[in-house]
Structure 1
Amino acid sequence: MPWISRTRLADMRARIEQLAEQRDEARTDARRAFGASARLAGGTLELDEQVADLRSRLTAAQQDLTAEKRRADRLQQRLDDAVGINGPAVDSGAMWQQRRADKPITVKGEQR
């Protein structure tokens, strides 16, 4: 076995201590990085869940809106039918109001 000088041995020990410190710092940095990535991953999962929830709520709201529009259209049609807006006389006189068959004829301010 070859002999190592005391100076060389001291240099090697110093280098070993330096490498051990670097190793410890690297482990600490790795733990911090792992913790940060775990927190980020947890936050990302939470955001994904929130986005999925919002999408489902949006879909439900859009379906409700469509249903309410259909209901309002049906009610408007019933109202139009009840007040006679959809009658043939209205359709025939849509462009020329003077030719409406249901328009009351007035003679000097009187209605017939």
Structure 2
Amino acid sequence: MTSAAFEHLDIERLSQWLDEQGELCLVDIRDPGSYAQGHIPGSRHLDNHSVGPLVEQTPKDRPLVVVCYHGHSSQQAASWLSAQGFERVYSLDGGFTEWQHRLPERVSRTAS
């Protein structure tokens, strides 16, 4: 039995992709409050309610990057999304915590 394939993505590469590439889908699976307090610009919050539309509406060949707190939960989510037919799925190593630590100028906050 083979598990669905995803790749690990480091912060430097994601930062470069965000600077260069428009066809990237970036999803954040942290809780809504944490997402509102800070997230990677261009990301969208993904939960049980929004995953259906994501799977139905996002082109399967578009790179899909999953972000969580530290890069652990995103691996399971990335594996699941890969099993849904997405061809290029990535889990962000270090998660949002490492992103915020290394690139604080590249954090968006949702207005309350």
Interval of TM-score (by shorter of Structure 1 and Structure 2): under 0.3
Q: Normalized against structure 1, the TM-score is what?
A: 0.17
Q: Normalized against structure 2, the TM-score is what?
A: 0.17
Identify, as 1 or 2, the structure richer in helix: 1
Q: Which has the higher contact order (CA 8 A, sep 6+)?
A: 2
Identify, as 1 or 2, the structure richer in strand: 2
> Which is greater in Rg?
1
